[in-house]
Amino acid sequence: MSLADGRIPVLDIGPALAGAPGAAEDLAARIARTCADTGFLVLAGHGIDPALPAGCFDAAAQVFALPDDEKLALKVGEYNIGYLPTGAQVIRTSKVAEVKKPNLNESFYIIRDYPPDHPAVLEKRPFVAPNRWPPGLPAFRAAALAYFAAMEALAQRLLPVFTMALGMPPGYLAGDFRDPTCTLRLIRYQPQPDPEEGRFGFAPHIDTNFITFLAQSALPGLEVRTAEGEWLRPPAIPGTFVVNTAEMLGRYSNGRFTPTPHRVLNQNNAMRYAIPFFFGPDNDAVIRPVPSCVTADNPVRFEPLLYEDHRRQLNLRNFAHRQAQPAVG
C-alpha cells in the first residue's frame, strides 16, 4: 500500500446512501478521521452516472477549443461567471507559499443558472447573475447543468454525514445550505513538462468553500500536501471523486478539520482538464464553530463570518482584473 492510500482513503459511500443500518455513522467516523489528517478522500459507490462527468469534460474541451475572441466575449465580469483567461488569477491568499506568478490555466465558471428575469438577478443580489453560455455550443449548457445538478444533489446527501463527522446531529447544518453556493469550474492546464521555479498550473492553495468534488481527471497533476510537508497524489481510480475539505468546514469544526493545501503541476505533454464542483453555504449563512467542536481545551477560535462577506474579500484579492494595481508576474 502506498502512503497515499493510507492518507487519502477510498470510501465506498454506497451503503450509507442506501440507508444501510449504521452505515452513515461508520462513514462519518471515517470522514472525521481523514478530515483531521489530510482532509482529502476518494468517494466510490456514489451512484453518479459516469456519462455526466464525461459529458462535462467534453464540454470543457469544447469551450476551451473556441477561438480566443469567442472566449473573451464570455469573459468574467464583476463576479466569477464565465471565462477567465490564463494569467488572471494569482493566489494571494495562500498561507503555504508566497505566490507571485499567475496560474497556468484558463477557467470557465458556471453558477446556478438564473434566467435574466429571475427576481434575484433583477434585485442585483450579490453574486447572482446569469451564466455566460457560449452561443455556438448548443450541447454545452445541457451537459454542464446536468453535471451541476447531479453534484449538488450528491453534496446535499453528504452534508448530514459531514455534519455527523463534526459530532453534530445530521440535520444541524441544513439551515445554512438551503440555497447553497455551488460553482462548477472547468479548467484547462497548459503542459509544463519542465516547470520553472514558482510557476504552477494551480499554485498551492486551500479551497475557500465547504467541500469540493473533483471528478478524476484523465491526466495526473493534482498534489496534496500532508502536515509533514510531503506532496501526495490522490489515488487515481477512474469513476471516483476526489473530495477535499475547504475553509468553511474548517471554521465549523473550530480548526479540527483544517483545509489541506494542494497544487497542480501539469507535467504531461498534453493539456490537462479538471471540472471541480465547489459546494458552499448560503450567501447569507453566518458560519460559526459548532458546539461539539468547542471545548475548554479548544475555545472558540473563529468569529462569526457572513459567507457573502468572505466571498467579497476573496473576489478582490485573488483576481487581477479586480485589483487597483496590476498583478505581479
Q: Which residues bind ligand AKG (CB under 6 A)?
A: 185, 187, 202, 207, 214, 217, 222, 262, 264, 274, 276
Sequence-distant (6+) residues with CB within 8 A of 67 are: none
The backbone torsions φ and ψ at residue 78, rounded to the nearest 5 degrees and listed phi first, read -60, -40
Residue with Cβ nearer Fe ion (224 or 287): 224
Q: Is 106 in the site for Fe ion (CB under 5 A)?
A: no
Coil, helix or strand at residue 11: strand
The three three-digit cell numbers of residue 18, written as one number: 442506501
140: number of Cβ within 10 Å: 23
Partner from ligand AKG, Fe ion, none binding residue 222, C-beta < 5-8 Å depending on class? ligand AKG
Residue found under cell 490564463: 86
Q: What's the CA gap between 42 and 309, in Å, rounded?
A: 31
Closest alpha carbon to 214 in 243, 184, 181, 185? 243
In angstroms, give the least distance from the CB of 207 to Fe ion: 4
149: number of Cβ within 10 Å: 14
Phi-psi domain of 263 (left: phi exceeds 0; alpha: psi -120 through 50; beta: other): beta
Residue found under cell 478521521: 33
Residue with Cβ nearer Fe ion (235 or 261): 261
Residue with Cβ nearer ligand AKG (276 or 280): 276
The three three-digit cell numbers of residue 144, written as one number: 454542464
Residue with Cβ nearer Fe ion (207 or 247): 207
Partner from Fe ion, ligand AKG, none binding residue 214, C-beta < 5-8 Å depending on class? ligand AKG
Window of 28-36, 53-61, 126-134, 203-211 that interacts with Fe ion by CB under 5 A? 203-211
Residues contacting Fe ion: total by CB under 5 A: 1
Find the residue with minimal CB distance to Fe ion. 207
Window of 30-38, 47-55, 202-210, 313-321 that interacts with Fe ion by CB under 5 A? 202-210
Q: Is 223 in the site for Fe ion (CB under 5 A)?
A: no
Residue with Cβ nearer ligand AKG (243 or 274): 274
In the chain, helix, strand, coil percent, each to 5? Answer: 30, 20, 50
Q: Is 207 in the site for Fe ion (CB under 5 A)?
A: yes
In angstroms, give the least distance from the CB of 175 to ligand AKG: 26
In angstroms, give the least distance from the CB of 275 to ligand AKG: 9
226: number of Cβ within 10 Å: 18
In angstroms, give the least distance from the CB of 262 to ligand AKG: 5
Find the residue with minimal CB distance to ligand AKG. 274
Q: What's the CA gap between 144 and 140, in Å, rounded?
A: 6
Partner from ligand AKG, Fe ion, none binding residue 166, C-beta < 5-8 Å depending on class? none
Radius of gyration of the chain (CA): 19
Residue with Cβ nearer Fe ion (148 or 277): 277
Partner from Fe ion, ligand AKG, none binding residue 217, C-beta < 5-8 Å depending on class? ligand AKG
In angstroms, give the least distance from the CB of 202 to ligand AKG: 5
Partner from Fe ion, ligand AKG, none binding residue 274, C-beta < 5-8 Å depending on class? ligand AKG
Outline where DSSP puts E strands in 22-114.
Answer: 40-44, 82-84, 105-111
Residue with Cβ nearer ligand AKG (127 or 172): 127
Closest alpha carbon to 56 in 225, 185, 172, 244? 185
CB 264 within 8 A of CB 107: no
In angstroms, give the least distance from the CB of 116 to Fe ion: 30
Interface with Fe ion (CB under 5 A):
207
